[in-house]
Amino acid sequence: MTTKLTIPISEEQIRGLKIGDQVLLNGVIFTGRDAAHKYMSDNFIKGSCPDAEKEMYEILRNGLAGGVIYHCGPVVRKRDDGKYEFVAAGPTTSIREEPYQADVIGHFGLRAVIGKGGMRDKTLAGCQEHGAVYLHAIGGAATLIAESVKEVLNVHKLDFGVPEAFWEIRVEDFPCVVTMDSHGQSLHDKVRADSERKLQAILAG
């Protein structure tokens, strides 16, 4: 089954998804990797927001509520008119964000995280508690995924570097698969456990 979701997404819609469901996302999403997650944790979650970061906090608070963050370090091109466009937009490995992700989901009201490779117990518990899912994007299809990015609306914290900045983008029919749902199910855990059983059977000979 393929479900089309328009951002902002309701908790009810998220609770209706199960691992294995295919999803097409439409609307505005934000990219965010290592520097972005550490920045959100240090400035907005662990302590009070510094005055210098209040404008950015409002942008993220409004943009991520019911929204989506994409673990992506895009390849971008600046056009002659000064606007940016995505050349490649493949997912980056998500596990690096495991220390932060559940807190970011809870604090900002995120409904979905996109990446590759899956995440672990803390994030899975956060998805279950707050009503969110982990969506797996296709690794190795960066150029194809970039075709779903119809417009770069803004870039924030470009001083972090192009791959680490917050890119605010509008997507149409962005393809992904639910691999961690809000019911405590993780396809990554199932694959890991199955692989371990097969390995032990081989070693037992």
Q: Of 104, 81, 138, which is closest to residue 30 (Cα–Cα)?
A: 104
Which entry of 37, 71, 156, 188 is annotated as an active-site residue?
Answer: 37
Residue entry with tokens 């089954």: 1
> Do the beta carbons of residue 136 and residue 113 sit within 8 Å?
no
37 is catalytic: yes
> Which ranges of the chain would DSSP assign to H, the alpha helix?
11-15, 34-40, 54-64, 98-108, 121-130, 142-146, 187-204
| Structural contact between residues 141 and 180, judged by C-beta atoms closer than 8 angstroms | no
97: left (phi over 0), alpha (psi -120 to 50) or beta: alpha
φ, ψ of residue 69 to 5 degrees: the values are: -115, 140
| Two tokens, residue 186 | 């993780």
Active site amino acids: 37
